[in-house]
Amino acid sequence: MQIGTSLTHCLIERQRDHEGASGEFTLLMNDIVTACKVISGYVKKGNLIGILGSAETENIQGETQKKLDIISNDVFTETLMNGTQVAALASEEMDEVYHLPKGAKRGKYLCVYDPLDGSSNIDVNVTVGTIFSILRAPAGVEDPSEEDFMLPGTEQVAAGYCIYGPSTIMVLTTGHGVNGFTLDMDIGEFKLTHPNIMIPEDTKEFAINMSNQRFWDAPVKRYIDECLAGKEGPRGKDFNMRWVASMVAEVHRILTRGGVFLYPVDSKIRAQGGKLRLMYEANPMAMIIEQAGGMAITGPERIMAIKPHKLHQRVPVILGSKNEVQVLHDYHTA
Ligand code: AHM
Ligand code: MG
């Protein structure tokens, strides 16, 4: 595909590669693209239309929802429901599986999403994004249950995110590499700007919330201590650090110039399994990272190999440049 080709065109071309394809996937992706354009519009308008700030409600994870969390969730859910390519939906902002109304036309896909990741950043005008994962509904199941969503990340049909930063960029994988498309605001169309993204295998940049340092387990503590020791330490190089507190922004930076991102389990959050959610944060990002030549692990294991046991399950996340994540894997399995 040539730089500048529209996302719509790329999706139709891909559909042509699959003999007998029904076009359902293309339509679903088209709905996701539409939803992200609408969310991007809201994010960019911000307080011009009075949508910043807290909604004074809590999601199932006990986190206070922002007005934009709820708006984004409604936009994404309604767009996909009306699109008729899904059998059921699940979101960070909804306690349970979202079932389609009785008699509603439905398709063969499941979509799991975080409608607005990094939402603690909304009010301070820092980058946020939408993350999504597409799975196949089990054949013959009319109204999928939570159990039907319990598929490992290796079963994802596609994954992506849309980042609402200085530009709005959609990053996508269907298991054949990773491509990025920038929204051309003048014509309302995403255009291919980042073809075949590959993550540099080596890096000197890590991202972790250092305020949790005293709670870390030994392998993470060892790794960060060695990074901080710089040229004089065992790694023999000086490291740089970044922490946006918006996973979409961290992953996008890593896809662009390499790096390693860690939200490990620590003694403060051990009981809940980690901070980030497996199905709509860790798995889609892991698929993108692996497809771009990187690695995504919990510490000892590959994220995408985990068989989920509940929708809002949390896991430790370590991902990014292959050689650096390998060091962390070695420390966790030594
Ligand atoms: P959210 O989905 O409620 O926004 O939470 C997930 C976000 C990630 O984007 C980010 O990596 C992490 O939470 C930041 O956490 P912390 O505030 O503990 O640094
Ligand atoms: Mg999130």
Report the pLDDT value the prediction gives residue 277, as an integer from 0 to 100. Answer: 98
Domain ranges of the chain: 7-194, 205-333
**Residue of 76, 120, 318 with the most ligand 1 atoms within 8 Å of its CB, for mutation:** 120
Sign of CA dihedral 90, 93, 98, 104: negative
Q: What is the identity of the amino acid at 254? A: I
Distance 264 CA to ligand 1 centre (A): 12
Percent of the chain residues past pLDDT 90, beyond the cut: 90
Tens digits of residue pLDDT in 10-48: 999 888 877 777 899 999 999 999 999 999 999 999 999
Overall fold of domain 7-194: Fructose-1,6-Bisphosphatase; Chain A, domain 1 (3.30.540)
Tens digits of residue pLDDT in 180-234: 999 999 999 999 999 999 999 999 999 999 999 999 999 999 999 999 999 999 9
H/E stretch holding 240 reads: strand 240-241
Phi, psi of 232 (to 5 degrees): -80, -15
292 contact partners, CB below 8 Å, separation of at least 6: 173, 177, 178, 197, 198, 199, 255
Give 13-33 as a DSSP string: HHHHHSTT--SHHHHHHHHHH
Please state the atom number of ligand 1 nearest to the C-alpha of residue 243: 19
Report the pLDDT value the prediction gives residue 214, as an integer from 0 to 100. Answer: 98
> 192 and 3 in contact (C-beta within 8 Å)?
yes
Q: Could you identify the residue written with the tokens 């206070």?
A: 64
pTM attached to this predicted model: 0.97
Q: CATH assignment of 205-333, given 3.30.559.10, 3.40.190.80, 3.30.70.980, 3.30.450.20?
A: 3.40.190.80
When pLDDT is cut at 50, 70 and 90, the band that residue 2 belongs to is very high
Report the pLDDT value the prediction gives residue 180, as an integer from 0 to 100. Answer: 98
Longest dimension (CA), the chain: 67
Cα(257)–Cα(194) distance, rounded to whole angstroms? 12
Alpha-carbon 217 to chain mean position: 25
Cα(306)–Cα(75) distance, rounded to whole angstroms? 30
Please state the atom number of ligand 1 nearest to the C-alpha of residue 63: 3
Distance 103 CA to ligand 1 centre (A): 37
Cα(25)–Cα(270) distance, rounded to whole angstroms? 38
> 88 and 151 in contact (C-beta within 8 Å)?
no
Tens digits of residue pLDDT in 59-93: 888 888 899 999 999 999 999 999 989 999 999 99
